[in-house]
């Protein structure tokens, strides 16, 4: 087995390695036990790690993470092959056929001269495919067909709104959405003041988050990316607070909130002095 895989192309070798790992007689006990459901979380995790490597601009890391993500595809294809559904070759050929079908200006006789025109054609083709998928599963056609439930909630909100906007269900501009944000925030405040239960608060807070995602869309901002950057900013600053306290021999858990806030402001001031991006206020929120 080793000699044969060593002489194969990279993808063939990986497919053979996975087959060996899943061999019920001589494979790895852990790999043999895995299913689509148990592997799916790793697939999502690896996709995020690819994105992180890209953000870091680390090509060695990106090479490794792309390999890990490819392994996930091979893993799922192997399980499907064992169950008699399809194999990796089928997956690869299917996506190749789809790319050819969606690029008739490259592989056929259509003429497309701009990226914008191609985007229009691409979306039209995808819309036809979504309609075919809905018909296949006996669902009514919908502009929202094909937006996976597995997306992070903030991303899915953005995609739902973007798709609805294509058929005219949209706010006139970002300021109109801002008014809606104010309205939803007021409703959250009202529920808090009324002392209502968890379910009502969750419902109103969900409406607020959904509207904020819509505001991001109208402003041309990726809400997942914006929140990701804010998460990183908060982590960086909070670690800065911890480091300042550690130099003084103090534990953050033992400090008063006012003291923690003072250190937070000091970290933000140091960032401003160093030219880092910063907020305009001095609150402990990012």
- Does residue 284 fall inside a structural domain? no
Average pLDDT over residues 68-85: 98
- Does residue 146 fall inside a structural domain? no
Q: Average pLDDT over the chain, rounded to whole?
A: 90
Residues 194 and 241 occupy one common structural domain: no
Helices (H), the chain: 2-7, 10-21, 29-33, 36-56, 59-82, 88-102, 104-107, 115-136, 153-165, 174-194, 198-218, 223-247, 257-273
| Lowest model confidence (mean pLDDT) among 50-54, 133-137, 178-182 | 133-137
The number of beta carbons lying within 10 Å of the beta carbon of residue 85 is 10
Residues 206 and 255 occupy one common structural domain: no
Residues 19 and 93 occupy one common structural domain: yes
Domain enclosing residue 116, as ranges: 103-136
- Does residue 279 fall inside a structural domain? no
Q: Which of 91, 111, 136 is the last residue of a domain?
A: 136
Residue 5: pLDDT band (50, 70, 90) is: very low
- Does residue 228 fall inside a structural domain? yes
- Does residue 201 fall inside a structural domain? yes
């Amino acid at each position: 087995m080793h000699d044969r895989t060593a002489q194969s192309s990279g993808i063939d070798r990986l497919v053979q390695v996975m087959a060996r790992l899943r061999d019920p007689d001589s494979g790895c006990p852990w790999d043999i036990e895995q299913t689509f459901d148990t592997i799916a979380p790793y697939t999502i995790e690896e996709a995020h790690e690819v994105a992180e490597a890209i953000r870091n601009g680390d090509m060695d890391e990106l090479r490794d993470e792309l390999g890990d993500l490819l392994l996930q595809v091979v893993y799922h294809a192997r399980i499907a092959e064992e169950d008699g559904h399809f194999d990796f070759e089928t997956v690869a050929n299917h996506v190749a056929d789809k790319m050819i079908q969606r690029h008739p200006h490259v592989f056929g006789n259509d003429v497309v001269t701009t990226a914008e025109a191609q985007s229009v054609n691409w979306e039209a083709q995808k819309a036809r495919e979504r309609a075919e998928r809905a018909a296949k599963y006996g669902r009514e056609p919908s502009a929202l067909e094909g937006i996976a439930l597995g997306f992070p909630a903030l991303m899915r909100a953005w995609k739902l709104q973007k798709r609805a906007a294509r058929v005219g269900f949209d706010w006139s501009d970002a300021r109109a959405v801002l008014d809606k944000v104010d309205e939803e925030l007021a409703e959250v405040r009202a529920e808090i003041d009324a002392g209502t239960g968890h379910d009502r608060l969750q419902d109103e807070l969900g409406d607020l988050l959904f509207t904020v995602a819509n505001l991001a869309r109208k402003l041309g901002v990726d809400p997942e990316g914006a929140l990701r950057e804010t998460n990183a900013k908060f982590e960086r600053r909070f670690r800065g607070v911890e480091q300042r306290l550690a130099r003084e021999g103090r534990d953050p858990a033992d400090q008063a909130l006012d003291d923690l806030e003072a250190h937070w402001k000091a970290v933000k001031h140091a960032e401003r002095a160093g030219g880092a991006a910063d907020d305009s206020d001095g609150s402990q929120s990012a």
